[in-house]
A and B are shown apart, each in its own frame.
Chain A
Amino acid sequence: MNTADPRKTFGEALAEIGKENSKVLAISADSSSGSGLGPFKKLFSERHIEFGIMEQGIIGYAAGLATTGKIPFVVAIAPFLTSRPFEMVRNDVGYMKQNVKIVGRCAGMSYADLGPTHHSLEDVAILRTIPGFTILVPSDPVEIKEVAKAAAELNGPVYIKIARDKMPIFNDNKEYKFELGKGVTLKEGNDLTIVATGVPVYNALEAANALEKKGLSVRVINIHTLKPIDKEIIIKAAKETGKIVTVEEHYLAGGLGSIVAEITAQHAPAKLHMVGVNDQFASNGPYDGLMAMYNLDTNGIIKEVESFLKN
């Protein structure tokens, strides 16, 4: 399986977008190369604006720039663009309905050893409360490019969540089609559906394939757009498979699991099991170790599915 660096991939995509649209700006908070902005800076130095470490101010500046027709992509470490300046994101971008793209990189637990100050396990939960926000969580490098392009084309506030470590490239096939707001069925199945988002999507797919060998028919749905969510694909899965397991690198409170619970409870009650980090600051250490610790790796997802079915 080929892999690619998510930040580098995003940065290359943004440079391409910059060629197409001269209104696109790249904004950084002291870490432009860490945010993959090298190629954009090289091509369009006058459209890259460095602010240093001041994320509250940055969000306001981005909103002000957007009022003059610019399309700012603010790229920095995820928690510092989401939980730290939340009120600026809510008021200056959300309430003012400005065309600002907030790109939280090294998101989830991918800043592994740096610990909970640098993890972002609540970003989706808090940002999805803001009316009019679009939330995109790509699952592989192919999707990162699609998401970046879609964000630039959409006129409105967007949050993009991208990871740090190299990601397997698994969406590079003819059947894959990116459509904003639409879930992607990666694998059909009738006994149970795994609905996943972001980095663990690939692990969920691997887990489903392993479970298939044990005689279990598992559907896998990749949700790259958490808001607006594709209700239909979830309702259909709830009705057809009756059981859903959600998988996300996020707190159980307010993320994908909560979104799926809100939909199924109201439209198609199904048995639901949520996999993620449950009401605790995550530990620190190697990323793969953390993913295993919270059952977000392939083996963990298999265990979660099996114990859900047993109980």
Chain B
Amino acid sequence: MSNLNQSENLELKKNALAVRKNILRMVKAGGAGHVGGALSATDIITALYFKVMNVRPDQPLWEKRDRFVLSAGHKCLALYAVLAEKGFFDKNLLDTYGSLGSRLPGHPDMHKLPGVESNTGALGHGLSIAGGMAMGLRLDNTESKVYVIMGDGELAEGSNWEAASAAAHHKLDNLMVFVDLNGLQIEGETKDVMSNADLVARWKAFGWHVLEIDGHNFDEILACTSKLPEVKGKPTVVISHTIKAKGFSFGEGKVAYHYWSANEQEMKIAENDLAEIERSLG
């Protein structure tokens, strides 16, 4: 059960709105970006940083922090937007997106920006890195947890399943993965490009504790994160049903907005969409 009361729920919605505004701000600066997956993962990443994870923006390398690994590194607009909103760095940096040598590259670099924990972008790397972190934190007897976002298209990479086996084998119950199941990848629907049927059964067979949620519903996100581990000795995966480009009306659920080369007209619509969300939140 989620512990969110009505005002906390509203607060998270406002946070997520601010994050989407930051995403739009970066695309405006850079002219283009992987908005589809960033927007589908936005609500989960927002909830993690604002309600779940133990982090200190003024001490990004604080030893006891929880870790976040964006395995699907192309969703970095969402990560940068959340980190900025959380105060890890000056929001003016968002306006450098896409510029030469920007500290906000098209895939995250831990050595360029405070709060970024790993260099992802090549798919199929993040879960192993996160598993190593979880293992190291456990060796240190800390309570720190590791949270990961993976894309559903990314799951075709075989290395993920090596990582999944090892996490279960080594009983990394301080590890929680969200599969951002927006159902789309560059070539089309994920199920047509490379079958991802029975994800729940697959992860269960690999020895994971499996949950399934609506990845845009804060009550459900918070309910699944309220206790980690829910099952002692097992890593947890949360199959999260999401909508690609969630929040930008012209792009929602459309393959074409995996990578958005923004034009003025669509930019205007996106701004109006966010303004409307703002009005609805009061």
Contacts and interface: CB of A to CB of B under 8 A. Distances in A.
Contacts, number: 101
A114 to B, nearest CB: 23
Dominant SS among interface residues on chain B? helix
Contacts of A95: 109, 119
Interface residues of B, number: 33
B159 A56 contact: yes
A38 interface: no
A66 B132 contact: yes
B177 interface: no
Contact of B125 (A46, A62, A65, A88): A88
Interface in B122-150: 122, 124-137, 139-140
B125 A97 contact: no
Interface string A54-71: 101111111111111110
Interface centre among B118, B128, B139, B165 (most CB of A within 10 A): B128
B135 A49 contact: yes
B186 interface: no
A87 interface: yes
B187 interface: no
A4 interface: no
A60 B131 contact: yes
A64 B159 contact: no
A262 to B, nearest CB: 28
Given A56-B128, A61-B128, A91-B122, A67 B133 contact: yes
Contacts of A91: 119, 121-122, 125
Interface string A85-111: 001100110011100000000000000
A309 B159 CA distance: 50
A60 B111 contact: no
A51 B111 CA distance: 28
Nearest to B131: A61
A52 B163 CA distance: 11
B133 A64 contact: yes
Contacts of B10: none
A33 to B, nearest CB: 20
Nearest to A88: B125
Contacts of B135: 49, 61, 64-65
Interface centre among A52, A60, A67, A88 (most CB of B within 10 A): A60
Interface residues of A, number: 27
A60 B129 contact: yes
Contacts of A61: 128-129, 131-132, 135, 163, 166
Interface string B106-123: 000111000001110110
B129 A92 contact: yes
Interface string B143-169: 000000000000000110011011001
Nearest to A72: B132
Contact of A65 (B117, B133, B163): B133
Interface centre among A51, A57, A66 (most CB of B within 10 A): A57
A88 B159 contact: yes
A64 B162 contact: no
A129 to B, nearest CB: 16
B111 A65 contact: no
A162 to B, nearest CB: 24
Contacts of B158: 56
Contact of A96 (B110, B137, B140, B170): B110
Given A68-B140, A87-B122, A95-B119, A63 B166 contact: no
Contacts of A96: 110, 118-119, 129
7 contacts: A54-B166, A60-B132, A64-B131, A67-B67, A68-B132, A88-B159, A96-B118
Given A52-B165, A69-B136, A92-B129, 4 more contacts: A60-B125, A61-B135, A68-B140, A88-B125
